[in-house]
Amino acid sequence: MTSTTQQNPIREDLVLVLGGTGKTGRRIAARLEAKGIPVRIGSRSAVPSFDWNNESNWDECLEGATAVYINYSPDLAMPGATDSIEALVHKAKQHGVERLVLLSGRGEAEAQACERIVQESGIDSTIVRASWFNQNFSEGAFVDMIRAGQITLPAGDTPEPFVDVDDIAEVAVAALTEPGHAGELYEVTGPRLMTLADVAAEISGATGRNIRFVDVPHAAFVAGLTESGAPKDVVWMLDYLFATVLDGRNAHLTDGIERALGRPPKDFADYAREVAATGAWSAAA
């Protein structure tokens, strides 16, 4: 580890987990609670509620928190994200927060601008810069495609080192609760590069079904999303991600999980077998 400022364990008074009901947040909250660490969930449905578009309850959410996990929804690439992160960091300093852990995205200039705000805040901080999640295929936007037997996305043969959300959660929990992670930037990926055709093949093998990848034109994909009634911010985000980030810039592996946890990352095949066993990818009725 590179930090020399953190020698003793962090005070385990209270951790605020923003996005605490989402893919990473609920896993982080569960792990913290299993350690006996008090957790406050930051979400619009929680009490007090947390809404990135309404600062009125932010002070109440931050009251008494010694550490904060920051997961900006829907994505740090969204216009206005830097203003929101700056406002949150300012309030965190006012409340005496001692540790910030930010979930960021690889290859996104806007996300990296948010990283700098956190890194320059004067609060001990750790950045977890993640590749695309395995769980996008089981808990996110693409699960219905798997159930229908066809992944229709404008991705071509560009490889991506998909990372498992359980690994991300373990890195975040370590950074929130253990010494030695302050000042670190953990860029986290899975152990291998995979095209979406590879993803389809792995899920086919795990489920015993024939899951195909069909490359579609970008414009047709965005038009289909819009016509389906998807929220505008989701359409914008997926348009942005497929038009920019999935262009090969992230087609390399990193050692963030090994550095943070001292073990290799989870492979997609193991993830696929676990999900298949739950029946989550059963054919659509």
* Alpha helix positions (H), 49-189: 58-62, 81-94, 109-119, 143-148, 165-177
Whole-angstrom Cα distance, residue 241 to residue 76?
Answer: 11
Closest CA to 280 of 212, 229, 209, 231: 209
Determine the pLDDT at residue 168.
98
Determine the pLDDT at residue 285.
56
What's the chain's average pLDDT? 93
Per-residue 3-state assignment (H helix, E strand, C coil) for 104-138: EECCCHHHHHHHHHHHCCCCEEEEEEECCEHHHHC
Rounded to a whole number, what is the largest CA-CA distance in the chain? Answer: 56
Structural domains in the chain, CATH included, are 15-134+162-190+250-266 (3.40.50.720)
> Which residues, other chains included, contact 61 with Cβ-Cβ below 8 Å and sequence gap of 6+?
16, 40, 42, 48, 50
Asked if the peptide bond before residue 231 counts as cis, ω within 30 degrees of 0, the response is no
User: How does residue 30 score in pLDDT terms, banded at 50, 70 and 90?
Assistant: very high
Distances from the Cα of 7 to the Cα of 2, 123, 178, 183, 224, angstroms: 12, 15, 10, 13, 53
Whole-angstrom Cα distance, residue 148 to residue 67?
Answer: 41
Closest CA to 71 of 46, 105, 119: 105
> Per-residue pLDDT averaged across 49-61, rounded?
97
Whole-angstrom Cα distance, residue 1 to residue 262?
Answer: 11
pLDDT at 258 over 50: yes
Distances from the Cα of 232 to the Cα of 18, 31, 109, 118, 242, angstroms: 22, 33, 21, 27, 16
Rg of the chain over CA atoms, in angstroms? 19
Query: How long a stretch of residues is the chain?
Result: 285
Closest CA to 69 of 94, 48, 50, 45: 50
- Residue pair 40/15 in contact (Cβ under 8 Å)? The answer is yes
pLDDT tens by residue, 116-161: 999 999 999 999 999 999 999 999 889 999 999 999 999 999 999 9
- Residue pair 256/188 in contact (Cβ under 8 Å)? The answer is yes
pTM score above 0.75: yes
